[in-house]
Structure 1
Amino acid sequence: MELETPETPVALVVGVTGMAGLSLAEALKKPTALGGPWKVYGAARRPKPTWFSPSLLDLYIQFNALDPHDTCKNLSIISEHVTHLFWVVLQAHDNEEANIATNSSMLSNVLHVLTSNSTTSRLRHVTLQTGTKHYIGPDLDHAGPSDPPFHENMTRLPYPNFYYVLEDLLASYSPAFTWSVHRSSIIIGASSRSIYNMLLTLATYALICRREGAPFRYPGSRYTWEHFCDASDAGLLAQQQIWAAVSDSAKNQAFNCTNGDVFTWKAFWTVLSEIFGVEPVPPCGDIAEFNWVEEMKEKGGVWDAIVRENGLHETKLEEITCFGASNAVMNFGFQHVSSMNKSREFGFLGYVDTLKSLRKWIERLREMNILPKT
């Protein structure tokens, strides 16, 4: 573990094994990290996966944030050290009331431990990652009113959303600590532990098509095939979160975080087809012609065979994919695009080429032995 002084910033990344969490740990540990050098603690509900490098953390903590006693037991040993909390974890349920109860309880339990002793707490800033469900609502199959590009001062939608509740929870602690909210788009990164991993979902779909000699059919609509969408590179998201955590001008602000460009699913599909050597098939009409979600429910055995034959890190198709959520995104009736103007005006100028990002993270998933090397 690195030596700690009273001035050392100490980060606790909750959800460290997900796409955003892994990139945060890597970014914080770089010698060039803003505000550094950092001491980095990482936490997750499950044991550390084999692909996670131990050099990225000074300490890995396994605990159940829904259990206040387990949270206190495992975080009390570091509660007087943590200066920055990076909250990049979520649990998803079938209804928003359950999402609100679960996710607000987890964050409340952690904040309680880190702030319970006001005289010894060092917590200065909390980073909250949310997403564009802030603008379109929690039900992707029945997305609410939208008027892209989405911008941060849009009025909240008039129905429950756990993102709103988490934002209000942080604001209620003012002025004990400052906070920042980061609204990502579709996150492109590398992990087998993220609930919503569209890249891994599409990669497994392509590999299953290749194995079965089936065409790589686009499951979305003609509209999304031809119109614009955006994405958030996990590394860029980490950079923005660290920037906001150490920049006075960014305190108590919400920021969109996308790559700064747009893409069409036609272009995205072309790149995936080239990478995995499959035949791309565009949509024929305005509505998807086949039930992709139901079809993929029957492909778990095919993925098991791919894992076994290539000696991959053991995963189950239903645990590493989000076919339902991906299907909803590829059938939106609007362009899924967020404005990055506010972020730029406040001083964060990072950007990423999305199609290059796609290739980079596929290669990273191969290096992590989550996807086959070829």
Structure 2
Amino acid sequence: MEKDPDYRAAALIVGVTGMVGLTLAEALKKPTAPGGPWKVYGAARRALPTWFPSGLLDHFIAFDATNRDETLQNLSPIASNVTHIFWVALQIRETEQLNITLNSTMLTNVLAAINSASDPQLRHITMQTGTKHYMGPIFDPSLSTQLVPHEPPFREDYPRLPYPNFYYALEDLLATYSHSFTYSIHRSSIIIGASSRSLYNTILTLSVYATICRREGLPCRYPGTLYTWEHFCDMSDARVLAEQQVWAATTDGAKNEAYNCTNGDVFTWKSFWKVLCKVFEVEFVPFDEKDKFDFTELMRDKGRVWDEIVEEHGLYKAKMEDITCFEALQTVLHFEFQHVSSMNKSREFGFFGYADTLKSVRIWVERLRQMKIIP
């Protein structure tokens, strides 16, 4: 593809159908986007879902980044155009060692394809990771019971933990390319946004849970502990993440650094639960430590109920197990520490984006409804 003189920069968003991929495309296509006007290429493993806004991308490419030949074949036509890569993709397997192998392979293949151009233009890559950087592989059953996380609030200058972590592997891989282009690392908290294609989607998981509770007349009980109910947590609005990534990609003094990215506030799950219940018009049930239940087990057999809801409301057709993460959320809601990150470094470098988390809940639930992912 020939270079387009109407654009100052060309972005390749890898993982464009996820929560942050969608908001990145929207942010880059704003007339006021820093570094713009942007040509935006979007990439994902599967075809665009029906809820993805038509016309938001200049070009969409579907390919399997774990396959080197397929990646080269699909990206070589645009390789000489791409100036920035926004990496918001991930694949998760049973063990962290498999995660390291798989995700490193994906990044290696994409970088090799873009750098295959006779005159590569790649200037910067933003890499989204998360607070697992400070906690270790919390979803690896062979390692999760051994983990000793850092003390919160998490800070970017904390040393690495002595456990395998695919975030570390990706950071090290980017560092080997430091002579060719700049990069920035963006460590999100629990992401709140709208997509049916994000592996860990807390707000969609809770939306499905509340919707089923309302339909079946079940109490919308909090599936965590008294500690997480009462103590502080933080989240990352997908819009704030996109804003920070575009800022880092276009600000000279922000490059080659790692940044936490949260909304800048904290909340308790008790306050979050009150908002959730109000939005879904279910009764708020105060947490009762005596009323123990297995969240994952409760929802295991609710797939049929969700299928009925999808059919009745004409929703985007997706199986409940493909759009929820009950087991992962149950792990988060049983943390024995406050899940909070410091935003001081980000502010010191000049990024001041923020969001009110409890207002974000309403905004993103409404967006999920508009997208016909939930009723």
TM over 0.5: yes
What is the identity, as a one-letter code, of the residue corresponding to 1:192? Answer: S
Partner of 1:131: 130
Secondary structure of the structure 1 residue equivalent to 2:78: coil
- The answer to whether the 8 Å contact 1:18/1:191 transfers is yes
Structure 1's consecutive aligned runs of 4 or more residues displaced over 6 angstroms after TM superposition are none
The match for 2:338 among 335, 338, 348 is: 335
Following TM superposition, by how much is the alpha carbon of 1:174 offset from its aligned partner in structure 2, in angstroms? Answer: 1.3
Following TM superposition, by how much is the alpha carbon of 1:167 offset from its aligned partner in structure 2, in angstroms? Answer: 0.3
Q: For the residues of structure 2 that align with 1:180 and 1:6, how far apart are their CA atoms?
A: 26
Tell me: CA distance 1:7–1:291, structure 2 relative to 1, closer, same or farther (3 Å).
closer
The match for 1:362 among 324, 349, 365 is: 365
- The answer to whether the 8 Å contact 1:10/1:82 transfers is yes
Following TM superposition, by how much is the alpha carbon of 1:175 offset from its aligned partner in structure 2, in angstroms? Answer: 1.3
Partner of 1:245: 249
Following TM superposition, by how much is the alpha carbon of 1:138 offset from its aligned partner in structure 2, in angstroms? Answer: 1.3
What is the identity, as a one-letter code, of the residue corresponding to 1:87? Answer: W
Partner of 1:298: 301
Following TM superposition, by how much is the alpha carbon of 1:146 offset from its aligned partner in structure 2, in angstroms? Answer: 2.4
The answer to whether structure 1 residue 52 and structure 2 residue 58 are counterparts is no
Following TM superposition, by how much is the alpha carbon of 1:282 offset from its aligned partner in structure 2, in angstroms? Answer: 3.0
Q: Deviations over 1:293-323 (max 9, x none)?
A: 0111110001111111111111110000000
Q: Deviations over 1:191-235 (max 9, x none)?
A: 000000010000000000000000000000000000000000001
The match for 2:270 among 266, 269, 279 is: 266
- The answer to whether the 8 Å contact 1:283/1:289 transfers is no
The answer to whether structure 1 residue 353 and structure 2 residue 352 are counterparts is no
Q: For the residues of structure 1 that align with 2:184 and 2:347, how far apart are their CA atoms?
A: 15
Q: For the residues of structure 1 that align with 2:270 and 2:3, how far apart are their CA atoms?
A: 50
Following TM superposition, by how much is the alpha carbon of 1:284 offset from its aligned partner in structure 2, in angstroms? Answer: 1.9
Q: For the residues of structure 2 that align with 1:115 and 1:356, how far apart are their CA atoms?
A: 42
Q: For the residues of structure 2 that align with 1:127 and 1:288, how far apart are their CA atoms?
A: 44
Secondary structure of the structure 2 residue equivalent to 1:5: coil
Q: Deviations over 1:230-266 (max 9, x none)?
A: 0000011000000000101111000000000000000
The answer to whether structure 1 residue 8 and structure 2 residue 8 are counterparts is yes
- The answer to whether the 8 Å contact 2:137/2:163 transfers is no
Q: Which moved more, 1:358-367 or 1:287-296?
A: 287-296
- The answer to whether the 8 Å contact 1:184/1:232 transfers is yes
Following TM superposition, by how much is the alpha carbon of 1:281 offset from its aligned partner in structure 2, in angstroms? Answer: 2.1
The match for 1:314 among 312, 317, 320 is: 317
For 1:225-244, what aligned pairs fall within 5 Å after superposition? 225-244=229-248
Q: For the residues of structure 2 that align with 1:2 and 1:367, how far apart are their CA atoms?
A: 36
What is the identity, as a one-letter code, of the residue corresponding to 1:199? Answer: I
Partner of 2:93: 93
Q: For the residues of structure 1 that align with 2:353 and 2:95, how far apart are their CA atoms?
A: 35
Q: For the residues of structure 2 that align with 1:297 and 1:34, how far apart are their CA atoms?
A: 45
Q: For the residues of structure 2 that align with 1:3 and 1:31, how far apart are their CA atoms?
A: 20
Tell me: CA distance 1:253–1:211, structure 2 relative to 1, closer, same or farther (3 Å).
same
Q: For the residues of structure 2 that align with 1:67 and 1:239, how far apart are their CA atoms?
A: 31
Note the aligned Cα RMSD (angstroms).
Answer: 1.5
The match for 1:169 among 160, 168, 173 is: 173
Q: For the residues of structure 2 that align with 1:144 and 1:48, how far apart are their CA atoms?
A: 40
- The answer to whether the 8 Å contact 1:221/1:288 transfers is no
Partner of 1:22: 22
Following TM superposition, by how much is the alpha carbon of 1:7 offset from its aligned partner in structure 2, in angstroms? Answer: 6.5
TM-score w.r.t. length of structure 2: 0.96
Partner of 1:207: 211
Q: For the residues of structure 2 that align with 1:89 and 1:7, how far apart are their CA atoms?
A: 25
Partner of 1:122: 121
- The answer to whether the 8 Å contact 2:81/2:121 transfers is yes
Q: For the residues of structure 1 that align with 2:205 and 2:6, how far apart are their CA atoms?
A: 44
| Aligned residue pair count | 370
Following TM superposition, by how much is the alpha carbon of 1:116 offset from its aligned partner in structure 2, in angstroms? Answer: 2.7
Secondary structure of the structure 2 residue equivalent to 1:13: strand
What is the identity, as a one-letter code, of the residue corresponding to 1:175? Answer: H
Tell me: CA distance 1:151–1:40, structure 2 relative to 1, closer, same or farther (3 Å).
same
Partner of 2:148: 144
TM-score w.r.t. length of structure 1: 0.97
What is the identity, as a one-letter code, of the residue corresponding to 1:59? Answer: H
What is the identity, as a one-letter code, of the residue corresponding to 2:152? Answer: P
Q: Deviations over 1:96-155 (max 9, x none)?
A: 0100000000000000011134x5000000110000000001124545322000000001
- The answer to whether the 8 Å contact 2:8/2:35 transfers is no
Secondary structure of the structure 1 residue equivalent to 2:97: helix
Partner of 2:102: 102
Following TM superposition, by how much is the alpha carbon of 1:370 offset from its aligned partner in structure 2, in angstroms? Answer: 0.6
Q: For the residues of structure 1 that align with 2:244 and 2:152, how far apart are their CA atoms?
A: 22
Q: For the residues of structure 2 that align with 1:7 and 1:48, how far apart are their CA atoms?
A: 24
- The answer to whether the 8 Å contact 2:46/2:63 transfers is yes
Secondary structure of the structure 2 residue equivalent to 1:281: coil
Secondary structure of the structure 2 residue equivalent to 1:217: coil
Tell me: CA distance 1:277–1:168, structure 2 relative to 1, closer, same or farther (3 Å).
same
